[in-house]
Amino acid sequence: MKNIILSVLVLSFLLVSCNQKNKQEETVNSETVNSETIKPETATVKVSPTSFSIKEIVTDYLSLKNALTKDDSNGTADSGKALVKTLGKIDMKKLSGEQMKTYMDIADDLKEHAEHIGDNAGNIAHQREHFVLMSKDINDLVATFGTDQKLYQDFCPMADEGKGAIWISEVKDIKNPYYGSEMLTCGSVRKEF
């Protein structure tokens, strides 16, 4: 009984904290959301959109992210396995030496996190830990190689043990993969790609 009461108190605290953080950010950023916070990201490595695409990687990542928002550990694992397969078949022949090095540095980390997520069906907490780092990798890929799809970088101040963490989304509405049904709308849009 004590554990149930303690759990309810902790969850209530997290919900109130997240809600207050969102209200503070809305107040502070209400004027900058349209002009400063949400700015399209530009690619740092010039890559022709027809020559190299990360679209399949992003699609698999978004599938994984959406499974986490639904607290679907098995679907998350399946998406992690799909991402590993996609990373294995990406054609890098059209990349220059510098571009290939940049891609490989990011993709190697991304693959490691996808493997951990894929191997841990039933352990959504562990999957979400790897999703923190995976999201940084996807952010780097999108920022480096660009995208023809409108994407958003979202931020949850409560994720990663209160350090905060980003994720990439295809929709502007917040659907938090770090807390799923517990705090689905906790977070804010940081920028637009």
What kind and span of H or E run contains 5?
Answer: helix 2-29
Residue with tokens 């349209």: 34
* Residue 91 pLDDT: 86
Q: What pTM does this model have?
A: 0.75
Contact 134, 61 (CB under 8 A): yes
| CA distance linking residue 136 with residue 106, whole number of Å | 9
Long-range contacts of 24-30 (CB under 8 A, 24+ apart): 25/157, 25/188, 26/188, 29/188
Sign of torsion, CA 29 184 39 80? positive
* Residue 157 pLDDT: 95
Per-residue pLDDT of the chain (193 residues; tens, 9 = 90+): 544 544 444 444 444 444 444 444 443 333 333 333 333 443 444 444 446 889 999 999 999 999 999 999 999 999 999 999 999 998 888 888 899 999 999 999 999 999 999 999 999 999 999 999 999 999 999 999 998 899 999 999 999 999 999 999 999 999 999 999 999 999 999 999 8
Residue 186: closest CA among 161, 164, 163: 164
Contact 146, 47 (CB under 8 A): yes
* Residue 51 pLDDT: 64
* SS3 annotation, 127-141: HHHHHHHHHHHHHHH
* Residue 27 pLDDT: 38
* Residue 185 pLDDT: 93
